[in-house]
Amino acid sequence: MPINDAIIFQNVRFTYPETKGPVLKNVSFKVKKGTWISLIGHNGSGKSTISKLVNGLLLPDSNSHSQISVAGLNLNSKNIWNIREKVGIVFQNPDNQFVGATVGDDVAFGLENRGVSRQKMIKIVKQVLSEVGMLDYIDAEPANLSGGQKQRVAIAGILAVEPEIIILDESTSMLDPSGRAQILKIIRRLMKAKDLTILSITHDIDEASMADDVIVLNDGQILDQDTPLNIFSKVEMLQRIGLDIPFVEKLKLKLKEMGIKIPKELQTKDELKQYLCQLDLKK
Ligand SMILES: Nc1ncnc2c1ncn2[C@@H]1O[C@H](COP(=O)(O)OP(=O)(O)OP(=O)(O)O)[C@@H](O)[C@H]1O
Ligand SMILES: [Mg+2]
């Protein structure tokens, strides 16, 4: 039977040895295979903890009824290595992700332990570097690259081992808007071409809006899961838990205060502009 859900969390509880109580409490959600999910929530709400559970860097509390399934495999100490092969994480700080002396070596690193022949390795490294537009830098030193280029190399390193799921844990937060847009465009293209599932953890509303679904986390609990359109129009909920709201929603609030009601479906600046231009405000 084909697997429909790439990630399933059921009643997941997680406690760090150092924390008094659990930092995740009864967390349940599903991510359909081939979809893009954004995870949003305030600092310390448990987002990175979730990402580390997805790739088996952490295991849920053993004395709980937690169940995690990733790419059709139940997460347990026996399956950890199988699961890690299926999930790649791109972290926030690109500088902490390099192990190789050159870009090419770095991308090859994940392949070296898998008994891949040298000839095949060179072919894969070139292929994935060209997929992220970094083939020209194959002999460059990672330290000399820009932040955006480093993140592209990190993505190439992950692609080399053919994951099913890619987690972006604030991977674009240190990039400027154009670097961020480039990375997101690359990820979207790869997602379609390779049927990848994307879990993006982000504070950036534009990035979260690209998702099929948004999960809202608050103090280690899931508060909501819905389309970006629906989530970002729940302005009161977002403000209550200290999250930013999109520019267009802020503008809608101001217009509402002025007595001008804007339909919920209008989400982009352009749609709003068009709508306002055709209103007869003198009436
Ligand atoms: N290794 C650790 N040991 C002990 N406590 C930890 C550890 N890592 C995280 N925590 C605690 O667990 C909670 C959740 O942390 P987590 O890193 O998952 O949050 P986050 O939502 O990713 O936050 P941010 O937006 O700041 O990255 C926080 O209270 C944090 O202090
Ligand atoms: Mg985090």
Domain of 68, CATH number, reads: 3.40.50.300
Residue 55 belongs to some domain of the structure: yes
Give distance in angstroms: CA of 169 to centre of ligand 2. 7
> Three-class SS of residue 121?
helix
Residue 48 belongs to some domain of the structure: yes
Residue 40 belongs to some domain of the structure: yes
Query: What pLDDT tens digit does each residue of the chain (283 aa) get?
Result: 667 999 999 999 999 999 989 999 999 999 999 999 999 999 999 999 999 999 999 999 999 999 999 999 999 989 999 999 999 999 888 777 788 899 999 999 888 878 889 999 999 999 999 999 999 999 999 999 998 899 999 999 999 988 999 999 999 888 888 888 888 999 999 999 999 999 999 988 888 988 999 999 999 999 999 999 899 889 889 999 988 888 888 888 888 888 888 887 787 888 888 888 888 766 5
Structural domain for 183, as ranges:
5-245
> Three-class SS of residue 72?
coil
Q: Starting at the edge strand that comes first in sequence, how are the strands of the sheet with 73-74 ordered?
A: 24-32, 5-14, 67-70, 73-74
23 lines ligand 1 (CB under 6 A): yes
- Residue 75: the pLDDT is 94
Closest atom, ligand 1, to C-alpha of 49: 18
Residue 266 belongs to some domain of the structure: no
49 lines ligand 1 (CB under 6 A): yes
> Three-class SS of residue 68?
strand
Residue 76 belongs to some domain of the structure: yes
DSSP 8-state secondary structure symbol assigned to residue 1: -
User: Are the C-beta atoms of residues 7 and 199 closer than 8 Å to each other?
Assistant: yes
Residue 154 belongs to some domain of the structure: yes
93 lines ligand 1 (CB under 6 A): no
- Residue 282: the pLDDT is 61
The phi-psi region of residue 141 (left if phi > 0; otherwise alpha if psi is between -120 and 50; otherwise beta) is beta
54 lines ligand 1 (CB under 6 A): no
* Residue 119 to residue 102: CA distance in whole angstroms: 18
- CA 113 → CA 74, 117, 161, distances in Å? 24, 11, 11
Strands 36-41 and 24-32: unpaired
User: Are the C-beta atoms of residues 6 and 71 closer than 8 Å to each other?
Assistant: yes
Residue 260 belongs to some domain of the structure: no
Residue 268 belongs to some domain of the structure: no
Give distance in angstroms: CA of 43 to centre of ligand 2. 7
Q: Which residues surround ligand 2, an ion (CB under 5 A)?
A: 47-48
If one counts the domains in the chain, the total is: 1
- Could you tell me which of 109, 103, 67, 105 has the C-alpha nearest to residue 88? 109
119 lines ligand 1 (CB under 6 A): no
